Structure 1
Amino acid sequence: MENRPAPQGPEGCLTVAIRIPVRIVVFVLVVPVRMVWDLLAAGAKALRRAVLAPLWRALIVTPSRWLYARVLTPLGHATAWLGRAVGAGIGWLGRGVAWVAVTLVAVPTAWVYRTVLTPLGRGAARVAGAIALGLCRLLWALFVWPPVTLWRWVLAPLLRYGLLAPGAWLYRYALTPAGHAIALLAGLAAAALAAVARGLAALAVLLLVVPAVWVYRTLLTPLGHAVVVVAREIGDALGHAWRAAGFVSRAVGRALKWLARNLVGRPARWAYVVLLTPVGHWVQDAVLRPAKKAALAAGRSAREALASARETVRTARRDAWRALVGGPPREQGGHRARTLGSTTTASGAVPAPEISLSKTEG
């Protein structure tokens, strides 16, 4: 069965009088607090999604996985293998030590115990028993029998008739009557003190408890009821105001979201799709791509010119060196730099002369 709230009693005029003003004041005070709270909660969620969660994954989760997979797992496998190897070695060593201990120590020791120590111990036990019996009888005759005899025939009668009998008579006929008299006097004093205590208690009740009960019933109880009513109404007002502020905050948030989407998002998307995208495509096709091709062609031409100039300088330097010091003639190379009908020069090769077949045959 569902738990239904217990029916409340009739409300007083004080409750009805303070409910509406308190709720209005609390609502006015709580709405800004609730909106600030919702903003802080949204900012905290965004911060967690955008910053804290990636940082957690980047700084903790990924290094931990890498450490576990690349360091701890191989280390654990190596430790387990080493433990198995050490355990096997210790097992073999223990079996060897056990065999040595049983063969070289336990068996000879058992033989010596059975054949030598056991008969020797039994004989020594018999001799020691006889000696101990004689010593016991001697000690009894020297130290035990004289004190026992003295106690039985001298000290016990003297103690019984010299001390115990007079003490019993003194306790029975002197101390017991004196104790009874003291107990009677103590009972009378206790009764007097109890009567005085009862009188003081009645006086304290009359002077303190009765006025305190009157103040509690006539002043504190109504005041407490009023305070409870006011506190309950303030609490209910805070709850209603907090829920209403939540509705207001969510409505304001949805309105701001709608305004941002219609005033910023949609115009920005329209400008991006209608204006920026065609302009970007035109700039890419008409400006950037031809400029890139021209730059690549200029770079290629510059590299070819620099390569040709470097090769010309090298050839001139070698010819000048041979003219000064002499040497074998330079081999003609680089005829593969150009082909018939082609003007393209390979990088790092000297252009070969174009000679037709008719000129060669003539």
Structure 2
Amino acid sequence: MNTENPGCLTGVARAIALVIVLPVRLVWDALAYCLKQLWRWILAPIGRTLGWLIHHLIVIPLRWLWEWLLVPVARALWWLVDLLVVTPLTWLWRWVLRPVGKALWWVVDLLVVTPLTWLWRYVLAPVGRVIGAVLAWAWDIAGRISRAVGRAVGWVLWNAIGRPLAWVYRVILTPVGHWLRTWVWAPVAAVARAVRAAAREVRLALFGGSG
């Protein structure tokens, strides 16, 4: 066989492809046909039957139950609630509670709020202002008296205690201190320095060393 002929190679390739693809296509067509027949003769009738059963056994009864039982019962219950609860409460609020509340508020305003307002405005507030002013005046006067008393007590303490102590310190203690410092502490300090110097000299003479 001449392998250089393109037409011959194409024919051989097509034959091989046909041998491989043909069984797959046959199986595919057979499967598609079987599925089509299964849908047409089994699945579709079963689905239509199930749909008919669901519609007639569930949907229609539920619709009938909703239209002829639940809705009428709900309307009847709402009518009873409106008749026995809403309407009496509305009437009670409109003709009893609200008028009674208004009357009570009028009584409270007349007997409590208005007298308390008048009492505060014309009695308590003015009296409070007067008492505040009096207390402020008394506090100021008490402060002035306290400062005057403080100055008087300070003057008495200074003249009774401070001034004599100052005179004793200035006239007696200060000259005595100066005399003691000049004639007692200074000689004692000089003697102490001389004794320390003599002791140092003796120590150096006996033991030697630098000190």
1:197 aligns with 2:81: yes
Unaligned runs of 5+ in 2: 1-19, 207-211
Alpha-carbon deviation of 1:283? 3.1
Distance 1:310 1:194, change over 3 A: closer
Alignment of 1:6-25 (within 5 A): none
Distance 1:290 1:177, change over 3 A: closer
1:304 aligns with 2:190: yes
Task: Give the Cα–Cα distance (whole angstroms) in 1 for the partners of residues 50 and 164 of structure 2.
Answer: 136
Task: Give the Cα–Cα distance (whole angstroms) in 2 for the partners of residues 241 and 151 of structure 1.
Answer: 107
Task: Give the Cα–Cα distance (whole angstroms) in 2 for the partners of residues 200 and 283 of structure 1.
Answer: 108
1:167 maps to 51
Amino acid at match of 2:134: V
Q: Match of 2:168, SS? A: helix
Percent of matched pairs sharing the same residue: 15
1:224 aligns with 2:108: yes
2:96 maps to 211
2:135 maps to 249
Amino acid at match of 2:132: G
Alpha-carbon deviation of 1:266? 4.8
Rg larger for? 2
1:258 maps to 144
Task: Give the Cα–Cα distance (whole angstroms) in 2 for the partners of residues 317 and 174 of structure 1.
Answer: 134
2:72 maps to 188
Q: Match of 1:160, SS? A: helix
Q: What's the Cα RMSD here?
A: 4.8
Amino acid at match of 1:164: R
Alpha-carbon deviation of 1:214? 3.8
Alpha-carbon deviation of 1:228? 2.7
Task: Give the Cα–Cα distance (whole angstroms) in 2 for the partners of residues 177 and 307 of structure 1.
Answer: 134
Task: Give the Cα–Cα distance (whole angstroms) in 2 for the partners of residues 154 and 147 of structure 1.
Answer: 10
Distance 1:177 1:314, change over 3 A: closer
Task: Give the Cα–Cα distance (whole angstroms) in 2 for the partners of residues 170 and 278 of structure 1.
Answer: 123
Alpha-carbon deviation of 1:262? 2.2
Task: Give the Cα–Cα distance (whole angstroms) in 1 for the partners of residues 202 and 49 of structure 2.
Answer: 154
TM-score, length of structure 1 as denominator length: 0.37
Amino acid at match of 1:160: A
Alpha-carbon deviation of 1:287? 1.2
Task: Give the Cα–Cα distance (whole angstroms) in 2 for the partners of residues 163 and 301 of structure 1.
Answer: 139
Alpha-carbon deviation of 1:222? 2.1
1:286 aligns with 2:171: yes
Distance 1:308 1:230, change over 3 A: same
Task: Give the Cα–Cα distance (whole angstroms) in 1 for the partners of residues 50 and 197 of structure 2.
Answer: 149
Alpha-carbon deviation of 1:164? 0.9
Alpha-carbon deviation of 1:183? 0.7
Alpha-carbon deviation of 1:296? 0.5
Alignment of 1:48-63 (within 5 A): none
Amino acid at match of 2:47: L
Distance 1:190 1:266, change over 3 A: same
Amino acid at match of 2:106: P
More helix by share: 2
Deviations 1:136-178 (A, max 9, x none): x99xx59x94765543332354222343157348737995488
Q: Match of 2:138, SS? A: helix
Task: Give the Cα–Cα distance (whole angstroms) in 2 for the partners of residues 160 and 174 of structure 1.
Answer: 20
Alpha-carbon deviation of 1:291? 0.9
Alignment of 1:92-111 (within 5 A): none
Deviations 1:153-209 (A, max 9, x none): 323542223431573487379954883475134443334333323321334555676
Distance 1:300 1:215, change over 3 A: same
1:158 maps to 42
Distance 1:240 1:160, change over 3 A: farther
Task: Give the Cα–Cα distance (whole angstroms) in 2 for the partners of residues 317 and 159 of structure 1.
Answer: 137
Deviations 1:281-330 (A, max 9, x none): 54343212211111102111223345556778899999xx9xxxxxxxxx
